[in-house]
Amino acid sequence: MAALSNSPSEIITQLLIDLSLATDAGTWPVFADFAPESPDNLISIFTTPSRLQGKDHVVGDVAEHNGFQVSVRSSSFSPGDQKARTIADSFDSLKSQEVTYDGSSYILSSITRRTGILNPTRNVEDSRRNLFTFNCTTTIRQTS
């Protein structure tokens, strides 16, 4: 599989904006591979290790499932839990979505959640904020 011009986290960040689940500024801003100290309510997408899923017998490409983690931080439990579940539900039903980021176009065939929504400590260390996370994989094909 060919290298992508952008990281999976950047592409998923743009996907969330395209699906109106996040913004680039304002309510529920989304960040790629970064979580600033403020605002309290935000979404971060982190690139995680990929999984290799066999070889295409026709073309010979190895199918790479790009890994990423969704992290939803909130000042109180309910809004963060609800936002994380809305994103997870949207990913569960996603099929063949085109995303354009920084002049490059990509096709995401589907997104597979690898974990449920986790909130093991309920609070972000040294704060009263909540953190909800879940891990996913997706296939991303660059088209231009």
Comparison of pLDDT for 42 and 51, the residue scoring more: 42
Structure-model confidence comparison of residues 138 and 59, the more confident one: 138
The predicted model gives 8-22 an average pLDDT of 98
**Quick one: pLDDT at residue 127?**
79
φ, ψ at 13 (rounded to 5°): -60, -45
Q: Is a pLDDT exceeding 50 seen at residue 32?
A: yes
Using the predicted structure, report yes or no on whether residue 57 has a pLDDT greater than 50. no
- Assign 63 a pLDDT band (cuts: 50, 70, 90): low
Whole-model pTM? 0.88
- Average pLDDT, whole number, for the chain? 89
Q: How far is CA 86 from the centre of its chain?
A: 13
Which segments of the chain are extended strands (E)? 30-32, 42-55, 62-74, 97-101, 104-113, 130-142
For the chain, percent of residues with pLDDT exceeding 90:
74
Please give the Cα distance from 143 to 34 (Å, whole number).
26
8 A C-beta contact, residue 79 and residue 131 = no
Q: How far is the C-alpha of 103 from the C-alpha of 43, rounded, in Å? A: 23
- pLDDT for 55 beyond 60: no
- Can you list the domains of the chain with their CATH numbers? 8-57+64-142 (3.30.2000)
Is pLDDT at 54 greater than 70 in this prediction? Answer: no
